[in-house]
Structures are given as C-alpha cells and as structure tokens.
Amino acid sequence: MNISQINLFNDVSELGTISEAAKINNMSQPAASKQLQNLEDYFGVCLFERTNRGIILTEAGQILYDFTKKVSRMNEELHRNIRNIRNNKNSIDIVACPVVAGYVLPNLICELKKDYPHFNFNITSRDTQLTVDTIISGTYSLGFALDVPPRPELVSQKMFDDEIVLVSCRDYEISDHLTFEELSDHLVIVSDECYVFYDKIRDYFKDNGVDVEEINYFQTFYSIESVKNLLVNCSGIAFMPRKAMANEIRKGLVREIDLEGFESHYSVYAITHTKNTITPLMMKIIGGVEKQGRK
C-alpha cells in the first residue's frame, strides 16, 4: 500500500464517490477503481458498499479510513514543512470548516498578505470533527469549527453566529412561503453528512415525523459548491448556510424561502490547543475572522 492509494482511499471515504476522488487525485475513474480493487485484494476484505446514496464504508473500511486519514494529515504536514524549508518561509497552518475556509478566510488572508508578503498561509477545509482532531493532534496550530463542544485540550473563542436558510434560484417557480408538506413537491438538496448542517436538517425532518433516509425527494452532495451550482441552474431548492450564500442573495441570484417551523442557528469558534502559544499573527487572524463573520 503506497501513499497514492492511501490518499485515494481517504478521499473516496470522505466524498462518498469514486469519480470525484479520482478528479482530486488526477486519475481516471477506471484507474481509481482499479487502485481500490487492489487494496481490497491486498487486505482480502470488502472495504466499500455501493448504495443509491453513494459509497459507504464497511467495518473493515472504517478501520482502514481511521488509519489513512491520520497518514494523509501527516503527509500533508511533512510536505508543508519541507516546502517551507526549501522556500525559506515562515508559515501558519489553519484548518477550518467549509464556511470559514471558503467564504471568510480568503479575503482576510489577501489583506494580511500585504503586511506579511513572505509568510505562507496554509488553509485546509475540514468538517468540525476533523478540525478538532487535527488541532488536538498538533497537525494544525489554529482552527475554526462549528458548535465546538468543550474539550480540556482546547481553547475556544466564539467568532460569530450564522443560520441555515432554505433558498432557490431566482427563476425557480416556488412560493415564498412553504409548509413542511410542500417540500415533497421539490428536489431538496443539502451538503452531505460530513457537515453539521446535515444533522440539523435531519432533525427538522425527524421532528415532522419523516426519516430523510426513506424519502426520494431529498438529495445530498459532497460540497457546498456543488450544491450552489445546482441551485443557480434551478435544479431544486437547498438548505444552505447564510454566510455561504451571502453574495448570491445580495446579487439576487437566489432568493430565500420561508419554511414553516424551520429555524436553525449555529456558531463558529476559533480553537487552539491549550499547549500552544497564540502569536500576534494568530490574534490578527482570529480578530479578522470575527470581524468578517459579523458583517
């Protein structure tokens, strides 16, 4: 088993699709499938099960994934450290939930780069659990995660509050106000289980006596960007974090829908390890995220 197989397996496990993992690893889907088959042959067990909701891990697959995600993180850290030595640059490693990594940090880092032109800002997007794990393991020095539970190893500071909203394309034919029952008339799209948003939406459906696993008008996709692409093409309606949709809402590309009985908020926290020193630059980043998030 080599590092390319480890990275591929790790990506398939997290994305739930061989085709997307193949793209990330710059290989064709048949080549990726062959690599995964080689892994199963090597261990002599089935690592995946294919379902209509994508690929899920078997018990053996979960054991392997717990290993590969650690190796992938270590490999990322190794390459960053070697690259920084080669380029003679200082750096800071930041791991953040997709909302912060994709919609809050980019503008802030561009501003900071003016004052720190020779500094590397390494940003990685992870879900909340992986963000917490990587801060505790010491792989990253600064993290931003959603609804972080208290942990003795962590110092956490609330940045801002956000909410999940139901949105549609501007030209999508739908009422501005919906009841829960009327959702079944539309394809309902949401980011998949690796996001905290999924749990909150699943709970809303559960409170209304419906299991999202058993309905055919509910569809998950692996990333916020994939959901946004479907939205602007009027493919359905979607539950999305307001912060991720701020530009599209402001430009009138999408519109909000009032859903009866639905209200779901979450909070973003900055987290560091208790053993780590918070540097002045880290304080600038934390302050900048808080300011950007509250806009």
Rounded CA-CA distance 31/141 in Å is 36
Give residue 81's pLDDT.
65
Give residue 228's pLDDT.
84
- Which one of 40-49, 190-199, 284-293 scores highest in mean pLDDT? 284-293
Q: Does 1.10.10.10 match the CATH number of domain 1-86?
A: yes
Give residue 84's pLDDT.
58
pLDDT mean over 193-213: 81
Fold of 162-265: D-Maltodextrin-Binding Protein; domain 2 (3.40.190)
pTM: 0.67
Give residue 25's pLDDT.
84
Give residue 93's pLDDT.
86
The 10s digit of each residue's pLDDT in 216-244 is 888 887 678 888 888 878 888 999 889 88
Residue 200 and residue 266 in contact, taking contact as beta carbons nearer than 8 Å: yes
- Residue reference for tokens 């088993």: 1
Give residue 194's pLDDT.
53
**Residue ranges per structural domain of the chain:** 1-86, 162-265
Q: What does 148-181 look like in DSSP terms, one character per residue?
A: PPP-TTEEEEEEEEEEEEEEEETTS---SEE-TG
The 10s digit of each residue's pLDDT in 83-137 is 655 555 577 889 998 889 988 999 899 999 888 887 888 888 888 888 898 899 8
- Residue reference for tokens 């799209």: 189
264: number of CA atoms within 13 Å, CB side? 24
Q: Compare 253 and 55 and report the one with higher pLDDT.
A: 253
pLDDT mean over 38-60: 84
**Percent of the chain at pLDDT exceeding 70:** 94
